[in-house]
């Protein structure tokens, strides 16, 4: 497939490796810097428990920080997003997916950096949002930069973006295999060796930087023996189903919060501050809702740390506040809140279970982990990634298999009820629908206008059948487009319909009443759909004012479809 | 070469300067000068006497008197309030020294008094990170460990923090220091909280409550101790089956006195002891001279060859060998021996110094419950 023989192949492999390492290293270092910066802000701003307890003798100060920090943080986020991000919203994994899938222009560097800053302030000031979304976008930003270099590599941008994302996840979770799979499962949506090899290199680079150079501590350490009773797998499956329900509730809350923000607060930049104030007020009562909640995550795996009622309260509060923060415009992801809510729900399930099914079971930890992963995978639509995260974080085969069962049942249900993921829902709202696979979504991004032809026979509305019939015979065509004086399309006339008509009749009388037209925005996918049952030879394409711009022959639609799908298949089946 | 000769020259100057100050100090006061050092008694103090106090008196003619000190900063406040404190130098736990420094209870120490390593490495590089502070000089690494009376468990021996809390499998009294130090960490460690997250979790009300609950499990089996030599006595007399205590004391009892004591290194709590000077002492210069003397590499190594506490400077660590009297190799007994570090918890002295009142309050509430 590569033209130019051995030197070209060597160049391709060498250059792809260099790009993978460079993007992977940049994304990994940026991820470490980002996480440390959030940590630093949390300490300084009295968000983390470690900092709050040291000001324990000044309860007034702690209360003031609890109220003011998220509020002022929200104001800063609102202003940064409003004035510095061109898209006027936080950039997130859906933007990375879009940039990797299509050739449409990605958000600019200024917007990307401003969005990252807004995410940093959001997380630093204790908003209930996650850090992995911004990290994934940060990785994608480096990939996009590398994608712009003139290196003459095929599918350079999408592969470079996948590299950045894989390295960011690999670093953040200390889980290189999960990073690799996430980039394929969520960003690329296909597995080709050409992408697989560099993405693996990038994920490994992230791992090396996180572990060997910086010696980052593992994210999550639990001790777990084994699943003691085989019937517990039924409980795991049931837990997965319940988590899918919880994910559905979360999506509804998100949508509701989005609407509420528009309804109640007109200035967009003021919305995060309002959400911040509410977070602060709730945190005075339930401090667990502040920030990422690393401590709460750990407590959920310890028997005796929470009562059942307490757990239910924190789950509801965290769910509502995360929806509030995301809906009102704090910049951040939903993955870490989903992990936290999931693990709390899992602990809740583990505590309630003995009352419902009074049989022995293997303790709280496994149910907590199952809940965590089932909810998170429903939200981000990445079952394989979440299963691998469990494996890489806990190194426990038993836990992984238990979590696997919960995850697939959760995904089975949530796929039907919600769709593949929150990302896909957000993309669909923006007109990029991946629910039927990437063929449709990508065919939707190409305009059929690109295949326009001006080989067309036109007729003036005042002409007669005789004039038009003769012109069609001369042009060797069977269709004529009837236009008025301004070039507007009034109808189509077919040779078959006028063969035996009297020559003196005005042509407009014999025009077909129903005919297919494309417009400037018709996508290749839509044009395929519209051609069902079409019998003519070409479809007229009109501009916004109804003026004829040209025609698209049936052959051109099929050609467009074949070319685009061929490109996709080639991308998916390429070797390195 | 250049750097080394410069260092040698500096050393010479230093020694010339040091001698007259010491002589001056002696000649000004008519009575032979006496320096009062507050320290921890027992085998630990004996090792200090042999490694530091006696050689110092020999070199300068200045007598060293010791007073007993069991940690904390309350006693420093009392000393200062009494107005006629005799204390000059105090051997403090680093977190206490840090808290005392913030309260202004300590004199500043000039870091230039510290001698370079014998090979010329400047003190700043030779000491452990964070050892040289405005108010204190960290000198040893010690460890608070769990030990047990071997006779109490003829069958399976306990080997983890969890076993300390397991009265069913390992019955018997538990001796614990009557102070909110270490209890919190061990309580959570026994619930498999990873050591990296201990202090984050203990920073929450939930973490403290969880520790209380865990300690409730052994409440009736606890014997409290206050002075560092008590745990050894409690174990050897058979009063307690398991006890927490300082690793050096347990080493001394086992290696020197043949007591039937075994140490569980799991969850050892590593801490640091530092030399500091009580504020307002009229012998501040002399105190600094003593600290400079006691932190010389060869003197620190001499102490480490008497008791199993690790010196806080690298050049001294390299000089640790066999026990001076018993000939036992000392390195395996050091808290910092690689085989003991796998599950060691390094005490977060910053957290400790910031949570003095909170921990005290928690402890009182738990005792009263």
A253 in any annotated domain: yes
Q: Do B358 and A50 touch (CB under 8 A)?
A: no
A570 in any annotated domain: no
User: Which of A93-107, A371-385, B262-276 bottoms out in mean pLDDT, i.e. has the lowest?
Assistant: A93-107
What does chain B come to in residues? Answer: 369
Residues A181 and A66 in one domain: yes
What is the SS3 assignment for B275?
strand
Q: List the CATH number of the domain containing A95.
A: 1.10.3080.10
Residues A432 and A402 in one domain: yes
Q: What is the pLDDT of residue B20?
A: 45
DSSP per-residue codes, B102-125: HTT-B----GGGSPPPTT---HHH
Q: Is A59 on the interface with B (CB under 8 A)?
A: no
Residues A54 and A90 in one domain: yes
Q: How far apart are CA A480 and CA A497, in angstroms?
A: 11
DSSP per-residue codes, A545-561: TSBEEEEEEHHHHHHHH
pLDDT in tens, B32-46: 689 999 999 888 999
Choose the mutation target among B162, B187, B191 for the interface with A, i.e. most A CBs under 10 Å: B191
Residues A423 and A302 in one domain: yes
Half-sphere exposure in the Cβ direction for A188 (13 Å, CA): 33
CB atoms inside a 10 Å sphere around CB B233 = 17
Residues A165 and A253 in one domain: no
Residues A149 and A38 in one domain: yes
In chain A, % of residues over pLDDT 90: 52
Scan residues 248-287 of B and list those with Cβ closer than 8 Å to A: none
Q: Do B203 and A223 touch (CB under 8 A)?
A: no
Pick from B191, B203, B213: CB nearest A49: B203
A296 has a pLDDT exceeding 80: yes
Question: Can you give A19-80 as a three-state secondary structure string?
Answer: HHHHHHHHHHHHHHHHHHHHHHHHHHCCCCHHHHHHCCCCHHHHHHHHHHHHHHHHHHHHHH
Give how many domains chain A has, as a whole number: 3
- What are the residues whose beta carbons fall under 8 Å from the beta carbon of A517, sequence distance 6 or more? A489, A539, A540, A541, A542
B13 has a pLDDT exceeding 70: no
Q: Is A60 on the interface with B (CB under 8 A)?
A: no
Picking from B66, B200, B73, the residue whose alpha carbon sits closest to that of residue B135 is B73
A54 in any annotated domain: yes
User: Which of A222-236, A334-348, B196-210 bottoms out in mean pLDDT, i.e. has the lowest?
Assistant: A222-236
Any idea which architecture B142-272+335-368 has in CATH? 3-Layer(aba) Sandwich (3.40)
B contacts of A299 (beta carbons < 8 Å): 201, 204, 206-207, 210
Q: Is A299 on the interface with B (CB under 8 A)?
A: yes
Which residue carries 């006339």 as its tokens?
Answer: A493
Q: What is the pLDDT of residue A241?
A: 96
Cβ-count burial of B7 within 10 angstroms (0-12 exposed, 13-18 middle, 19+ buried)? Answer: middle
* ipTM surpassing 0.90: no
Q: Considering only alpha carbons, which residue of chain A is nearest residue B209?
A: A305
What range defines the domain where residue A127 resides? 5-213
Q: What is the pLDDT of residue A423?
A: 87
In this structure, what is the dihedral angle of CA atoms A541, A546, A547, A549, given to the nearest 10 degrees? -20
Q: What is the pLDDT of residue B28?
A: 46
Q: In the structure, what pLDDT confidence band is assigned to residue A105 with cuts at 50, 70 and 90?
A: confident
A430 in any annotated domain: yes
A75 has a pLDDT exceeding 50: yes
A219 in any annotated domain: no
Query: Quick one: tokens of A33?
Result: 């810097």
As a whole number, mean pLDDT of residues B314-321 equals: 88
CB atoms inside a 10 Å sphere around CB A148 = 12
**Contact (CB, 8 A) for B133 and B97:** yes
Q: What is the pLDDT of residue B101?
A: 93
Q: Write down the domain spans for chain B.
A: 2-141+273-317, 142-272+335-368
Q: What is the pLDDT of residue A106?
A: 83
In chain A, % of residues over pLDDT 70: 98
B233 has a pLDDT exceeding 80: yes
| Residue B20 φ/ψ, nearest 5 degrees | -60, -40
User: Which of A172-181, A476-485, A508-517 bottoms out in mean pLDDT, i.e. has the lowest?
Assistant: A508-517
Pick from A56, A287, A299: CB nearest B201: A299
Q: Do B357 and A57 touch (CB under 8 A)?
A: yes
- What are the residues whose beta carbons fall under 8 Å from the beta carbon of B60, sequence distance 6 or more? B22, B26, B289
Picking from B39, B16, B7, the residue whose alpha carbon sits closest to that of residue B291 is B39
Q: Is A49 on the interface with B (CB under 8 A)?
A: yes
Q: What is the pLDDT of residue A72?
A: 96
| Residue A488 φ/ψ, nearest 5 degrees | -80, 140
Q: In the structure, what pLDDT confidence band is assigned to residue B19 with cuts at 50, 70 and 90?
A: very low
CB atoms inside a 10 Å sphere around CB B361 = 14
pLDDT in tens, B335-355: 888 788 888 898 898 898 888
Which residue carries 């079971």 as its tokens?
Answer: A361
Q: How far apart are CA B169 and CA B171, in angstroms?
A: 6
Q: Do A48 and B203 touch (CB under 8 A)?
A: yes
Q: Is A52 on the interface with B (CB under 8 A)?
A: yes
Which residue spans within A443-512 are E strands per DSSP?
Answer: 458-460, 479-483, 489-494
A391 in any annotated domain: yes
Q: What is the pLDDT of residue A512?
A: 83
Residues A431 and A450 in one domain: no
A286 has a pLDDT exceeding 50: yes
Angle CA A142–A147–A149, to nearest 5: 105
- For residue B103, the cross-strand partners are none
Q: What is the pLDDT of residue A515?
A: 83
- Shortest Cα distance from A182 to chain B (angstroms)? 27
Residues A392 and A286 in one domain: yes
Residues A26 and A112 in one domain: yes
Q: What is the pLDDT of residue A4?
A: 66
B30 has a pLDDT exceeding 60: no
pLDDT in tens, A405-446: 999 999 999 988 888 888 888 888 888 887 777 788 888 888
Residues A256 and A359 in one domain: yes
- What are the residues whose beta carbons fall under 8 Å from the beta carbon of A483, sequence distance 6 or more? A458, A459, A460, A461, A489, A490, A548
CATH superfamily, domain B2-141+273-317, is Periplasmic binding protein-like II (3.40.190.10)
Residues A286 and A431 in one domain: yes
As a whole number, mean pLDDT of residues A448-461 equals: 88
pLDDT in tens, A318-337: 999 999 999 999 999 999 99
**Contact (CB, 8 A) for B181 and B360:** no
CB pairs under 8 A between A and B: 60
Q: How far apart are CA B145 and CA B267, in angstroms?
A: 7
Choose the mutation target among B95, B102, B192 for the interface with A, i.e. most A CBs under 10 Å: B192
Q: What is the pLDDT of residue B196?
A: 86
User: Which of A290-304, B16-30, B183-197 bottoms out in mean pLDDT, i.e. has the lowest?
Assistant: B16-30
pLDDT in tens, B42-92: 889 999 999 999 999 999 999 999 999 988 888 999 999 988 888 999 999
Pick from A407, A436, A465: which residue ends a domain? A436
A226 in any annotated domain: no
Which residue carries 């200035």 as its tokens?
Answer: A267
Q: What is the pLDDT of residue A575?
A: 63
Q: Considering only alpha carbons, which residue of chain B is nearest residue A49?
A: B203
Instruction: Decide if B2-141+273-317 and B142-272+335-368 have a common fold.
Output: yes
Picking from A262, A237, A265, the residue whose alpha carbon sits closest to that of residue A349 is A237
Residues A61 and A208 in one domain: yes
Q: What is the pLDDT of residue A325?
A: 96
A2 has a pLDDT exceeding 50: no
Q: What is the pLDDT of residue B32?
A: 62
Pick from B191, B203, B213: CB nearest A53: B203
Q: Do B191 and A52 touch (CB under 8 A)?
A: no
DSSP A104: S
pLDDT in tens, B86-121: 899 999 999 899 999 999 999 999 999 999 999 989
Q: Considering only alpha carbons, which residue of chain A is nearest residue B188?
A: A302
Pick from B194, B199, B210: CB nearest A305: B210
Q: What is the pLDDT of residue A507?
A: 85
Mean pLDDT for chain B?
88
Which residue carries 């507007």 as its tokens?
Answer: A488
As a whole number, mean pLDDT of residues A179-184 equals: 94
Pick from A436, A462, A492: which residue ends a domain? A436
**Contact (CB, 8 A) for B133 and B353:** no
Query: Quick one: tokens of A49?
Result: 């428990």
Scan residues 237-296 of A and list those with Cβ closer than 8 Å to B: 287, 294-295
As a whole number, mean pLDDT of residues B266-275 equals: 93
Q: Do B203 and A304 touch (CB under 8 A)?
A: no
**Contact (CB, 8 A) for B363 and B177:** no
As a whole number, mean pLDDT of residues A3-13 equals: 81
């Amino acid at each position: 497939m590569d033209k130019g023989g051995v030197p070209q192949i060597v160049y391709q492999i060498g250059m792809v490796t260099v790009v993978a390492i460079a993007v992977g290293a940049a994304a990994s270092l940026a991820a470490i810097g980002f996480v440390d910066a959030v940590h630093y802000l949390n300490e300084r701003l009295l968000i983390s428990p470690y900092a709050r307890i040291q000001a324990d003798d000044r309860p007034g100060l702690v209360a003031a920080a609890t109220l003011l920090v998220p509020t002022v943080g929200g104001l800063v986020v609102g202003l940064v997003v409003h004035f510095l991000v061109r898209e006027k919203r936080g950039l997130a994994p859906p933007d990375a997916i879009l940039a990797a899938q299509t050739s449409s222009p990605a958000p600019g560097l200024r917007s990307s950096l401003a969005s990252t800053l807004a995410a940093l302030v959001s997380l630093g000031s204790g908003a209930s949002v996650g850090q992995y979304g911004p990290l994934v976008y940060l990785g994608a930003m480096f990939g996009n930069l590398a994608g712009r270099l003139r290196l003459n590599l095929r599918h350079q941008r999408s592969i470079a973006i996948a590299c950045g994302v894989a390295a960011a996840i690999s670093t953040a979770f200390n889980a290189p295999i999960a990073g690799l799979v996430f980039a394929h499962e969520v960003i690329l949506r296909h597995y080709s060796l050409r992408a697989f090899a560099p993405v693996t290199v990038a994920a490994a680079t992230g791992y090396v930087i996180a572990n060997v150079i910086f010696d980052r501590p593992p994210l999550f350490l639990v001790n777990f023996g084994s699943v003691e009773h085989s019937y517990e797998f039924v409980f795991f499956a049931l837990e997965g189903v319940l988590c899918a329900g919880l994910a559905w509730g979360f999506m509804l809350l998100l949508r509701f919060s989005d609407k509420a923000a528009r309804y109640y607060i007109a200035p967009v930049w003021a919305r995060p501050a309002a959400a911040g104030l509410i977070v602060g007020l709730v945190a005075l009562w339930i401090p667990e809702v502040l920030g990422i909640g690393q401590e709460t995550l750990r407590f959920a795996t310890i028997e005796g740390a929470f009562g059942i009622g307490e757990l239910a309260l924190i789950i509801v509060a965290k769910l509502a506040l995360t929806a509030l923060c995301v809906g009102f415009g704090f910049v951040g992801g939903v993955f870490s809140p989903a992990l936290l809510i999931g693990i709390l729900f899992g602990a809740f399930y583990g505590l309630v279970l003995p009352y419902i099914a009074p049989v022995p079971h293997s303790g709280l930890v496994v149910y907590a982990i199952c809940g965590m992963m089932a909810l998170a995978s429903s939200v981000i639509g990445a079952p394989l990634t979440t299963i691998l995260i469990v494996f890489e974080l806990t190194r426990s085969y038993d836990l992984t298999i238990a979590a696997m069962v919960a995850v697939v049942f959760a995904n089975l249900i949530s796929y039907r009820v919600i769709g593949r993921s929150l990302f896909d829902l957000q993309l669909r709202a923006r007109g990029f629908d991946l629910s039927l696979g990437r063929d449709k979504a990508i065919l939707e991004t190409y305009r059929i206008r690109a295949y326009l032809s001006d080989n067309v026979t036109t007729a003036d509305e005042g002409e007669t059948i005789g004039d038009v019939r003769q012109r069609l015979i001369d042009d060797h065509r069977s269709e004529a487009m009837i236009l008025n004086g301004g070039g507007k399309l009034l109808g189509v006339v077919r040779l078959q319909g006028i063969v035996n008509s009297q020559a003196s009749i005005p042509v407009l009388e014999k025009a077909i009443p129903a005919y297919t037209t494309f417009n400037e925005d018709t996508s290749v996918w839509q044009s395929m759909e519209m051609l069902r049952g079409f019998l003519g030879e070409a479809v007229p394409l009109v501009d916004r004012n109804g003026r004829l711009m040209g025609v698209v022959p049936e052959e051109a639609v099929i050609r467009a479809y074949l070319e685009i799908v061929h490109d996709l298949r080639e991308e998916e089946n390429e070797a390195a | 070469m250049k750097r080394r000769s410069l260092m040698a020259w500096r050393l010479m100057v230093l020694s010339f300067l040091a001698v007259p100050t010491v002589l001056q100090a002696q000649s000004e006061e008519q009575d032979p000068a006496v320096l009062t050092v507050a320290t921890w008694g027992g085998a630990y103090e004996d090792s200090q006497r042999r490694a530091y106090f006696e050689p110092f008196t020999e070199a300068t003619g200045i007598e060293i008197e010791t007073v007993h000190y069991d940690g904390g900063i309350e006693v420093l406040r009392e000393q200062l309030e009494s107005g006629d404190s005799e204390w000059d130098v105090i051997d403090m736990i680093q977190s206490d020294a840090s808290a005392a420094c913030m309260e202004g209870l300590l004199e500043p120490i000039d870091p230039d008094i510290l001698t370079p390593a014998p090979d010329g490495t400047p003190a700043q590089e030779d000491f452990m990170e964070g050892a040289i502070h405005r108010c204190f000089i960290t000198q040893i690494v010690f460890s608070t460990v769990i030990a047990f009376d071997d006779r109490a468990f003829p069958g399976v021996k306990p080997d983890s923090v969890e076993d300390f809390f397991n009265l069913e499998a390992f019955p018997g009294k538990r001796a614990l220091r009557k102070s909110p130090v270490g209890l919190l960490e061990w309580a959570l460690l026994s619930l498999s909280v990873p050591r990296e997250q201990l202090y984050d979790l203990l920073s929450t009300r939930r973490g403290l409550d969880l520790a209380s609950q865990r300690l409730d499990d052994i409440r009736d089996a606890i014997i409290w101790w206050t002075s560092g030599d008590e745990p050894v006595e409690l174990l050897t007399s058979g009063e307690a089956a398991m006890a927490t205590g300082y690793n050096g004391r347990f080493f001394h009892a086992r290696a020197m006195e043949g007591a039937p004591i075994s140490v569980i290194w799991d969850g050892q709590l590593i801490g640091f002891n530092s030399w500091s000077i009580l504020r307002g002492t009229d012998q501040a210069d002399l105190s600094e001279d003593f600290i400079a003397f006691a932190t010389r590499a060869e003197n620190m190594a001499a102490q480490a060859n008497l008791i199993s506490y690790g010196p806080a400077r690298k050049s001294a660590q390299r000089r640790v060998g066999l026990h001076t009297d018993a000939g036992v190799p000392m390195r395996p007994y050091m808290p910092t021996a690689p085989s003991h570090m796998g599950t060691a918890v390094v005490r977060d002295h910053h957290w400790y110094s910031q949570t003095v009142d909170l921990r005290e309050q928690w402890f009182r509430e738990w005792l009263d419950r």
